[in-house]
Structure 1
Amino acid sequence: MSLHKQPELKDAVLNLPQKEKDKLLVRLVSKDKMLMKQLHFQLLENQLDLDDRIESLKESLRELFSTSRHAIKNIPQYTNYKELQALLRQGSGMINEHEKVTKDKYSEMECRIYLLKEAFERFPSLFEASAVHAAFKLQVYVKARLKTTTNKFDKLHEDLQFDLNDDMQKILDFAVRLHLI
């Protein structure tokens, strides 16, 4: 239930002594892991830490594709479609968490573009038309990622778009060629 729907509770909380509010705040923050990460970033980290986080995320994504080299083959088979979709979901989750914590739009876009570009370059056969249901599910998922990525890219400042434009264009060209968009 929202605190805004109970104005008398909100007023009572605001009127608590500062020491009690602090205790409640600490207890509430400790129950939400994402909020703890966001607060840690906002209150205790600086630009160098952000750079480290970005590099760590990029390395994790590279590692994700590196380890998938043996598990996923560029052969249109059920397991390859399923594994690639799982890999893309895992990578997207890592990027989503990074964005929620840091609010850094440029690194988010850079990593989203990298994720799609690597998938398209490493596994082009898995994005071609197929009668396998897992292929259809993969394509639906990738279409949604493309739409999200394109929308977020369009909202970036034009100077930031310029830096990412070549890779974004490669993704869009591939997607158009295979009728993903």
Structure 2
Amino acid sequence: MSLHKQPELKEAVLNLPQKEKDKLLVRLVGKDKMLMKQLHFQLLEDQIDLEDRIEKLKERLAALFVESRNSVKNIPVYSNYKELQSLIRQASGMINEHEKITKDKYSEVDCRIYILNQAFTRFPRLFEKSAVHSASKLHDYVRARIKTTTAKFAKLHEDLQFDLQAPMEEMTVFTMEHNLT
């Protein structure tokens, strides 16, 4: 139930003594892990911490793709399509969490381009035309990720776009060559 739909409750909460509101706020924040992470970032971290977070995220993404050598092969068979889609989803989840906490659009786009380019570079045969159903599911999923990434890239300031131009062009060239647009 939303507080917006109960204006009398909202008014009553706002009229509570400050000490009582503080207690309620601390209790409520403790029940939502994402809210705790967001508040920690907003209240206790600075630009250096953001750079550390970005670096750690990139390291985790790189490690994820290195570890994928054990589970995903560049051979167009059902299991590899499924595993690669799972890998990209896992990496996307890591980026989603980072963006929800930091609200940093540049690093979000940078990392999204990175995971797509890693997938294209490491597993190019999995993006060739195939009659396997899991291949079309992977390709559809990747098309959606490309569309989202391109839209987010377009919203960045032109100076930030310039910084990401080379990896973005690499992604675009691959998608054109493999008809993923």
Task: Name 2:141's counterpart in structure 1.
Answer: 141
Question: In percent, how many aligned pairs have the same letter?
Answer: 72
What TM-score comes out, normalization by structure 2 length?
Answer: 0.98
CA distance in 1, matches of 2:84, 2:4: 43
Task: Name 2:16's counterpart in structure 1.
Answer: 16
Q: CA deviation at 1:31?
A: 1.0
Which amino acid letter does the alignment assign opposite residue 121 of structure 2? Answer: E
CA distance in 1, matches of 2:32, 2:129: 42
CA distance in 1, matches of 2:33, 2:144: 27
1:1-181 equivalences under 5 Å are 1-181=1-181
CA distance in 1, matches of 2:16, 2:5: 19
Which amino acid letter does the alignment assign opposite residue 112 of structure 1? Answer: R
Which amino acid letter does the alignment assign opposite residue 172 of structure 1? Answer: T
CA distance in 2, matches of 1:51, 1:83: 30
What stretches of structure 1 of length at least 5 have no aligned partner?
A: none
What stretches of structure 2 of length at least 5 have no aligned partner?
A: none
- Deviation per CA, 1:54-75, whole angstroms, max 9, x where unpaired? 0000000000000001211100
CA distance in 1, matches of 2:42, 2:92: 22
Match of 1:74, SS state, is coil
Q: CA deviation at 1:129?
A: 1.0
Runs (4+) of structure 1 exceeding 6 A deviation are none
Which amino acid letter does the alignment assign opposite residue 136 of structure 2? Answer: F
- Deviation per CA, 1:44-101, whole angstroms, max 9, x where unpaired? 0111111110000000000000000121110001110011000000000000100110
CA distance in 1, matches of 2:12, 2:93: 38
CA distance in 2, matches of 1:116, 1:86: 13
